[in-house]
């Protein structure tokens, strides 16, 4: 995979919303924005509406923290469905997440934990990435 995109990106935060919506692209000193996927996965509400409007002017990358591809329990099907809906709506130029795990079974640990460095973990990670 080769990305053909360059420029200066910035992490999109709610404190940026007003400035981005009220000013022209020339007044904004960023070429693209990174949005944390989980912050916009609800199908309603102001954050998603703002991201949709920002995407009309700027390229957006989605970066997640909750996929948990390193989990031996697999990735959550509901999470993947919500992420797919967001990707379809925003059409980001990049979707990424951490190669870590943050859940085990139905428990979400609210952290990015390291994956053990062994063959079993590698197989689980690869299977989860293929599924995603």
In percent, the amount of the chain with pLDDT more than 70 equals 95
Structure tokens at 115: 């994956």
What local confidence, expressed as pLDDT, does residue 4 receive? 65
pLDDT of residue 6: 74
CA distance 66 to 107: 12
Q: Where are the domains of the chain?
A: 9-131
The C-alpha atoms of residue 60 and residue 41 are separated, in whole angstroms, by 15
Rounded CA gap, 128 and 27, in Å? 41
Helix (H) / strand (E) containing 129:
helix 119-131
Please write the tens of the pLDDT for every residue from 87-96.
Answer: 999 999 999 9
**Of all helices (H) and strands (E), which one includes residue 94?**
strand 94-96
* 8 A C-beta contact, residue 57 and residue 31: no
**So what's the pLDDT on residue 42?**
82
Architecture of domain 9-131: Alpha-Beta Barrel (3.20)
Average the pLDDT over 31-46 and give the result. 92
How many percent of the chain have pLDDT more than 90?
A: 67
In this predicted model, what pLDDT tens digit does every residue of 55-82 receive, in sequence order?
A: 999 999 999 999 999 988 888 899 999 9
Alpha-carbon distance of 64 to 128, in angstroms, equals 15
């Amino acid at each position: 995979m080769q990305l053909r995109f360059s420029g200066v990106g910035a992490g999109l935060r709610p404190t940026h919303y007003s400035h981005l919506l009220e000013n022209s692209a020339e007044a904004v000193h960023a070429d693209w924005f990174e949005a944390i996927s989980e912050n916009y996965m609800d199908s309603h509400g102001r954050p998603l509406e703002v991201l949709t409007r920002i995407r009309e002017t700027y390229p957006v990358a989605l970066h997640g923290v909750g996929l948990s591809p390193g989990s031996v329990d697999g990735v959550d099907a509901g999470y993947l469905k919500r992420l797919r809906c967001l990707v379809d709506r925003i059409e980001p130029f990049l979707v990424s997440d951490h190669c870590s795990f943050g859940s085990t079974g139905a428990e979400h640990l609210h952290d990015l934990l390291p994956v053990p460095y062994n063959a079993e973990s590698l197989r689980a990670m690869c299977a989860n990435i293929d599924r995603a």
